Amino acid sequence: MPGALRESRIKDLLTMVELWDRRRGNVRAFSGGMKRRLEIARGLLHHPRVLFLDEPTLGLDPQTRRHIWDYLNELRRREGLTIFLTTHYMDEAENCGRIAIVDHGSIVALDTPDGLKDKVGGDVVTIATADNQAAADAIRGTYKLEPILQDGVVRFHVPAGETFLPDFVLRFPQRLLSVGLRRPTLDDVFLAMTGREIRDSELDERDQMLQGMRGWGR
Average of per-residue pLDDT across 139-157: 92
- Class of 3-86 per CATH? alpha beta
Closest CA to 37 of 4, 10, 14, 55: 14
pLDDT of residue 169: 95
* Residue ranges of the chain assigned to CATH 3.30.70: 123-182
b/e per residue 92-118 (b: at least 16 CB within 10 A) = bbeeeeebebeeeeeeebeeebeebbb
CA–CA dist 184, 124 (Å, integer): 6
Q: pLDDT tens digit string along 159-206?
A: 889 999 999 999 999 999 999 999 888 988 888 788 765 555 455 545
Q: Where in the chain is the domain with CATH 3.40.50.300?
A: 3-86
Which phi and psi (to 5°) does residue 158 adopt?
-140, 150
pLDDT at residue 149 above 60?
Answer: yes
CA–CA distance, 206 with 37 (Å, rounded to integer): 21
Task: Please give the residue that has the higher pLDDT: either 166 or 56.
Answer: 166
CATH number for the domain running over 123-182: 3.30.70
Q: For residue 198, what pLDDT is reported? A: 55
What average pLDDT does the segment 40-61 reach?
87
